[in-house]
Chain A
Amino acid sequence: MYSDKVMDHFTNPRNVGELEAAADVGVGLVGNAKCGDIMKVFLKIDDGIVTDAKFKTFGCGAAVATSSMATEMVKGHTLREALQITNKAVAEALDGLPPIKVHCSLLAEQALHAALWDYAEKNGIEIEGLESPAADLEELERLGEEE
């Protein structure tokens, strides 16, 4: 049901891990355990350029693969360019996703945006065209504490 690219990024995910909290690291946490997908993306930004990206994902094969691909795609780009990485671009880079998995690529896009938003907030800057992420953060925090 998945393309070879998706399977490749699922079985050998790039950029799994975390970046330590710092002023130059933006963290985006999106998704919802109820639906079975949570993505946490870390972006390190130097001089307006994304120099490193990591992720942790709870989710299906497509969720892992889109996280892996999105973090690959964002590295080396300016903040403005990072914003242009859409769910469609991620899905296309993976040679497509089954229709019921398209929401996973949306989640990857949202995770990038949430990390950029976090970075902008921390550093008191505005990134043109970036909107506040609409993640279900309350639930995510509850889960994090509960365990």
Chain B
Amino acid sequence: MGNAELERVYFDNAATTPVRDEVLEEMLPYFRERYGNPSSLYSIAGESKKAVETARERLANALNAEPGEIYFTSGGTESDNWAIAGTAERAAGKGRHLITSAIEHHGILNVFKKLEKNGFEVTYLPVDAEGLVSPEELEKAIRPDTILISVMYANNEIGTVQPIDDLAGIAAARGVPFHTDAVQAAGHIPIDLKKTKADMLSLSAHKFNGPKGVGALFIRKGKPLEPFLLGGHQEKGRRPGTENVPGIVGLGKAAALAVAEMPEESARLAALRDRLIDGILGGIPHTRLNGSRTKRLPGNVSVAFEFIEGESLLLLLDMKNICASSGSACTSGSLDPSHVLLAIGLPHEKAHGSLRLTLGRYNTADEAEYVLRELPPLVARLRDMSPLYKAGVKTMI
């Protein structure tokens, strides 16, 4: 294919993914033909009810959980909010101390921020240079009044996968409820809730080729959790609201497909990822990898280019039809770069120069090669414009 421009290279699969054809097909009848409310008594309602229960079974199988432990929600944010706020409300009488990590998604962090305003105390566990939470640090942070620990399964920006079995095991041994935000992990790396002692786990369909606006919270059997939304009897009274039947059907199908294809697909993505990481680090000086080389999501590439700013790189990439994301402030609307990049020890100026490429099931080796060809001249172009660059070249010679 030579040097031809590609029509569009979508390397932002951690932001969202396209819905798979097979998923959309299963969803479609539930918009117009089988539109019944699962709570009603007539037969099309029964079809909807059955579809929701089939999805619940599929998702439970994908996580090695029980169907009764799956609660459908409107997505990752709601699941995260519910797990934390619901636990805090329930257990406030027992204690007011909570533990999380410094690199959580805002769907988690902002709940903790609000709880802090309401008199709770939160410990933010630091991470090391690779973005890993230390089990020993967690052990030390637990107090008699600790009522919840929430540590994400895998990070959305730098792709670091936490030692979640160890962390959940410590929480279980100390009798503290453990939640994990698995929004980036689910459908991409194996999750086994018989083995991992998490009490709650959040996931979201649109991160693994399912539809947007639907997710789930796993709540281990017998574990208490205050409802977050108040209303009807749906989801055993724990999550009211008429079910998003097509979305739930899509979630179940996407989860089943992702898990069935995971061994092959994750190996394919990891190879593409490594080709990109090696090509970028080898081809562009003054560049570092963000996150861990080995404890990493199969589709995540995150690098920091010195002397340049991420948004301007994204604009240039967009002109080459490459969709990517950055940890720079300019894309988030604040002046501070990503809290994740700062937490792994990047100084502000380097955090501003970060680029995230996240791969998914429709990406190809050709696309990776295209990006490896197009990226170096764009970085060079911005560096030529940068007042910080000359000094850097001097030290190289």
Tell whether, in the assembled complex, residue B391 and residue A57 are in contact, meaning their CB atoms are under 8 Å apart.
Answer: no
Is there a chain A Cβ closer than 8 Å to B101's Cβ?
no
Of the candidates A35, A56, A60, A103, the one whose C-beta lies within 8 Å of that of B311 is: A60
Q: How far is the CA of A111 from the CA of B268 in the complex (A)?
A: 49
Q: How far is the CA of A86 from the CA of B73 in the complex (A)?
A: 50
B314 to chain A, nearest CB (A): 9
Q: Considering only CB atoms and an 8 Å cut-off, how many residues of chain B contact the other chain?
A: 27
Is there a chain B Cβ closer than 8 Å to A138's Cβ?
no
Nearest chain B residue, comparing its CB with the CB of A39: B387
Q: Which residues of B contact A2 (CB under 8 A)?
A: 315
Tell whether, in the assembled complex, residue B387 and residue A29 are in contact, meaning their CB atoms are under 8 Å apart.
Answer: yes
Q: Which residues of A contact B394 (CB under 8 A)?
A: 147
Tell whether, in the assembled complex, residue A60 and residue B387 are in contact, meaning their CB atoms are under 8 Å apart.
Answer: no
Q: Which residues of A contact B309 (CB under 8 A)?
A: 36-37, 58-60, 63
Tell whether, in the assembled complex, residue A147 and residue B385 are in contact, meaning their CB atoms are under 8 Å apart.
Answer: no
Tell whether, in the assembled complex, residue B352 and residue A144 are in contact, meaning their CB atoms are under 8 Å apart.
Answer: no
Tell whether, in the assembled complex, residue A33 and residue B352 are in contact, meaning their CB atoms are under 8 Å apart.
Answer: yes
Is there a chain A Cβ closer than 8 Å to B348's Cβ?
yes
Tell whether, in the assembled complex, residue A36 and residue B330 are in contact, meaning their CB atoms are under 8 Å apart.
Answer: yes
Q: Which residues of A contact B392 (CB under 8 A)?
A: 147
Q: How far is the CA of A64 from the CA of B382 in the complex (A)?
A: 10
B329 to chain A, nearest CB (A): 5
Q: Which residues of B contact A57 (CB under 8 A)?
A: 385-387
Nearest chain A residue, comparing its CB with the CB of B348: A34
A123 to chain B, nearest CB (A): 23
Contact A38 to B319, CB < 8 A, known contacts A33-B352, A60-B312: no
B61 to chain A, nearest CB (A): 43
Q: How far is the CA of A145 from the CA of B312 in the complex (A)?
A: 24
**Chain A positions 99-147 with a Cβ under 8 Å from a chain B Cβ:** 100-101, 103, 143-147
Is there a chain A Cβ closer than 8 Å to B337's Cβ?
yes
Tell whether, in the assembled complex, residue B315 and residue A10 are in contact, meaning their CB atoms are under 8 Å apart.
Answer: yes
Interface residues on A, range: 20 to 34
A37 to chain B, nearest CB (A): 8
Q: Which residues of B contact A146 (CB under 8 A)?
A: 391
Is there a chain A Cβ closer than 8 Å to B69's Cβ?
no
B378 to chain A, nearest CB (A): 11
Q: How far is the CA of A62 from the CA of B387 in the complex (A)?
A: 16
Q: Which residues of B contact A33 (CB under 8 A)?
A: 348-349, 352, 388
Q: How far is the CA of A60 from the CA of B391 in the complex (A)?
A: 20
Of the candidates B315, B335, B349, B385, the one whose C-beta lies within 8 Å of that of A143 is: B349
Tell whether, in the assembled complex, residue B330 and residue A60 are in contact, meaning their CB atoms are under 8 Å apart.
Answer: yes
Interface centre among A7, A10, A56, A147 (most CB of B within 10 A): A147
Of the candidates A11, A62, A144, the one whose C-beta lies within 8 Å of that of B388 is: A144
Q: Which residues of B contact A103 (CB under 8 A)?
A: 335
**Chain A positions 50-98 with a Cβ under 8 Å from a chain B Cβ:** 56-64
Q: How far is the CA of A40 from the CA of B385 in the complex (A)?
A: 10
Q: Which residues of A contact B337 (CB under 8 A)?
A: 36
Q: How far is the CA of A40 from the CA of B206 in the complex (A)?
A: 43
Of the candidates B308, B333, B395, the one whose C-beta lies within 8 Å of that of A58 is: B308
Of the candidates B315, B328, B333, B385, the one whose C-beta lies within 8 Å of that of A36 is: B328
Tell whether, in the assembled complex, residue B328 and residue A58 are in contact, meaning their CB atoms are under 8 Å apart.
Answer: no
A-B contact pairs, 29 of them (CB 8 A): A16-B384, A35-B329, A35-B335, A36-B330, A36-B337, A36-B348, A36-B349, A38-B387, A38-B388, A39-B387, A57-B385, A57-B387, A58-B308, A58-B385, A59-B330, A60-B311, A60-B312, A61-B311, A61-B315, A62-B330, A64-B312, A64-B385, A100-B330, A100-B333, A101-B330, A103-B335, A145-B391, A147-B392, A147-B394
Chain A residues in the interface with B (C-beta under 8 A): 2, 7, 10-11, 13, 16, 29, 33-40, 56-64, 100-101, 103, 143-147
Chain B residues in the interface with A (C-beta under 8 A): 306-309, 311-312, 315-316, 319, 328-330, 333, 335, 337, 348-349, 352, 384-388, 391-392, 394-395
Smallest CB-CB A-B distances: 9 pairs? A33-B349, A60-B330, A56-B387, A60-B311, A40-B387, A36-B352, A147-B392, A34-B348, A147-B391
